[in-house]
Amino acid sequence: MNIFSKNRSSAGCWTCRLRRKKCDEARPICDSCAALDIECLYSEERPAWMDNGNRQRAMADRLKRDVKDRAAWRREKRFLRDIEKGTATITLGEKTGAGGTHIFAVAPGVAQAPAAAAEPDDQPPPNPAPSSAPVPAALSMSPPNLDEERDLNLMMVYLDYVFPFLYPFCRPSLLSSGRGWLLVLLMKNKAVFHSALSLSSFFMAVVATTNLQQQKTLNASGHGSEEEDASTANADGHSACLTAMLSELHKQQELSLRELQRAITAIRDRDYNNNNSNNGSGTAKIHSAEHLAESARVLESILQLLSFECVLQRLDSWHVHLEAALSLFEQIMIENSTDSAEQDLTSKNDSWSSIMNQLSPFPQGLGSLHLAPVPFSSDQAALKFHVSLLLFMDIVTSTTVEKPPRLLRFHQELVRPLTGTDGAENKKTDDPAQAMYNMFNPYENALLDMHEVVGVSNWVLLALTETAALAAWKKEAASAGRLTISELMARAAPIEANLRRRLASLEIKINTSESEKSPAGSLIHAHEHEAAHIDGAVHLSVDIASHIWGLGVLAYLLVVINGWQPAAEAIRHTADQALLELAALPSATCLRVAAWPLCVVGCLATYEQRPLYRGMVGQICGGQLLFGSVIEALRIMEAVWAAQDLQGNTADWDFGRCFSVLGRRAFLL
């Protein structure tokens, strides 16, 4: 007999006896077997394989293999335990006072759990030494209270439903980190977090209202008494839910505004202190990256507020917030411009590259000379998304304020250059390695592809920029008495020729795409396949959306050139073609994306076409509050039609007058 077996208890499990390990005799599974995640066998009788022969050796070899095979799983479990320790330090409380913490703020004084030390694969982890120290309150994994749980639920509503509804084209591929930046943004930015919760509350209130209206309709159609009682009870429940959601909306919006005010005050105080302390020594530049991140978060908060007002159709003060966002971004671009000698070797632009480089957590030289791909951080991805949205707002609203876009001077370094006759801006390549590199290339990634956010290609929005600038020039020249038809035509001709060429090329592409559909391909290009959606909803392709917008821009341009002549052949043909494509859209979500071109061609509608526009908006949107921009477009159309019927002579009309016919500047986003 082995001398070491004399001190070993005979009551231990047979697995430990076979492995010649000390067993703590815990039942039904001893600690040693539990730590290794292997079979633990207790029995009064000796197992058949314990024969001191071949079967025993085979069983021992099998246990060794199990221990080795499960090593990765044990490491994974240790990793999960570490995550739980880290999660335990999260405080799920929201305080609104000056010292309030974000719902995801790490509890003060609680250190994050260190990485697990490596443990032998065949040994259980040592038991921790007993301690009499009390467990911090932040480490108790008690369930959140009702307020905290509601906030978490509303955040998930925003991530799962609200954001995909508002930005259906924002579907980045897996390898470009998806929409993870959005979750990080909600966790880091209090103003955006509360604004997102207010939007979720609004969406839930709209759904509750819709259900309540449907319930009332069913009651009006006649039911039995029992069914009427049940319907009444359900309606009362929906009313209470609606009241609660509206109350939550106002609460979260107030919190969002409060946090935004704090952030703006902090930036203002920072700039004031820097100006006083920086005596030409450059001291204010020491923490420029940190200050840039703060300014970016304020910009994102303002744009989130604008999105909220757009959804709720609070259209009286949108220009104030947009002006603030534009001014802040201009300041960011100007203050972060660099001399050519200071530029990174991969930079082909100035301010924008400097900004994106400062927001990167990686050393700026890491991607120099095309040595290695550098992935985007959450801060970079969030800023790129919101700057794309800001440019879109600036361009579209320039048609309503009748001025060139404020950010026009930055377009060259912000927007990806156009390539091809259809203005394709994508980064496709047949070389997988090059495609992978392009995805993480710091310069390529910094350039904006508008279709990835708003579904409209760069060439369409740049054409709209040129047309809006032309309309503003025409109005100024006419007011000054120096407008000539020859100069107007000379300025408009290249815009129209380029626009028609790209529209024709895109139309050919759309008509041939059905017969030449390619398989989904790699994950690198997965975001370019418009029909691949797990929610099963009908989504509009970028090509179709861009073509509809292109027709709207062309109609707008033709009116700038020829004046208000809806019956003119070129204008009529363009507006009619746009109407056909708008009427073919399959859902309200698709129509909401095209609110601006809908309004443009709708204002040009003939008397016979007016019922088509009314029916299209009414049947597709049904008057729902979630499609306020489409309903606002119909209000503008109705007012324009009524004014034209009343006045008769509309020769002096233009789209600037149409967009302000309701007594306010339109915000069709």
The residue written with tokens 């550098």 in the block is: 374
> Is residue 147 in a domain?
no
pLDDT at 29: 84
pLDDT at 35: 81
The residue written with tokens 């309150």 in the block is: 137
pLDDT at 30: 87
Amino acid occupying residue 284:
A
Of the listed ranges 39-48, 236-245, 464-473, the one predicted with least confidence: 236-245
Task: Report the chain's mean pLDDT, rounded to a whole number.
Answer: 75
CA distance 509 to 541: 12
The encoded tokens of residue 293 equal 């991140």
Residue 196 CB partners (closer than 8 Å, separation 6+): 154, 155, 158, 162, 163, 186, 304
Backbone torsions φ then ψ of 315, nearest 5 degrees: -100, 5
Amino acid occupying residue 70:
R
DSSP alpha helix (H) spans, 378-457: 378-401, 411-414, 432-440, 442-446, 451-454
More confident residue, 296 or 270: 296
Question: Using 50, 70 and 90 to split pLDDT, how confident is the model at 552?
Answer: very high
pLDDT at 389: 96
> Is residue 176 in a domain?
no
pLDDT over 90, % of the chain? 32
> Is residue 589 in a domain?
yes
Question: Using 50, 70 and 90 to split pLDDT, how confident is the model at 373?
Answer: low
Of the listed ranges 189-193, 245-249, 393-397, 587-591, the one predicted with least confidence: 245-249
> Of 26, 42, 74, which marks where a domain is finished?
74
CB 471 within 8 A of CB 656: yes
Sign of the four-CA dihedral 12, 13, 18, 23: negative
Sign of the four-CA dihedral 416, 419, 421, 427: negative
> Is residue 638 in a domain?
yes
pLDDT in tens, 21-30: 888 888 878 8
Give the rounded distance of the alpha carbon of 83 from its chain centre. 26
Check whether 114 has a pLDDT greater than 80.
Answer: no
Question: Using 50, 70 and 90 to split pLDDT, how confident is the model at 1?
Answer: very low
CA distances, 209 to each of 59, 65, 205, 626 (Å): 66, 61, 6, 12
How many domains does the chain divide into?
2
> Is residue 268 in a domain?
no
Give the rounded distance of the alpha carbon of 520 from its chain centre. 23
Of the listed ranges 45-59, 474-488, 540-554, the one predicted with least confidence: 45-59
The CATH number of whichever domain residue 40 belongs to comes to 4.10.240.10
pLDDT in tens, 409-449: 999 989 988 765 554 554 555 566 655 555 555 566 788 99
> Is residue 178 in a domain?
no
pLDDT at 66: 79
CA distances, 551 to each of 499, 573, 597 (Å): 9, 10, 8
pLDDT in tens, 125-177: 444 443 334 434 443 445 556 677 888 899 999 999 999 999 999 988 776 66
> Is residue 424 in a domain?
yes
pLDDT at 255: 83
Of the listed ranges 185-189, 392-396, 415-419, 591-595, the one predicted with least confidence: 415-419
CB 389 within 8 A of CB 312: no
Q: Which residues pair with 424 in a beta bridge?
A: 419
pLDDT at 204: 84
Check whether 213 has a pLDDT greater than 50.
Answer: yes
Question: Using 50, 70 and 90 to split pLDDT, how confident is the model at 541?
Answer: confident
> Is residue 208 in a domain?
no
**Structural domain span for residue 18:** 3-74
More confident residue, 538 or 429: 429
The encoded tokens of residue 209 equal 């209202």
Burial class (CB in 10 A: 0-12, 13-18, 19+), 390: buried
pLDDT at 457: 94
CA distance 2 to 13: 18
> Of 57, 74, 91, which marks where a domain is finished?
74
Q: What is the mean pLDDT of residues 501-512?
A: 92
CA distance between the termini of the chain: 86
pLDDT in tens, 262-289: 888 877 777 656 666 554 444 344 346 7
Q: What is the mean pLDDT of residues 606-627?
A: 82
> Of 59, 74, 89, which marks where a domain is finished?
74
Q: Minimal CA–CA distance to 141: which of 71, 192, 176, 92? A: 92
Backbone torsions φ then ψ of 88, nearest 5 degrees: -65, -20
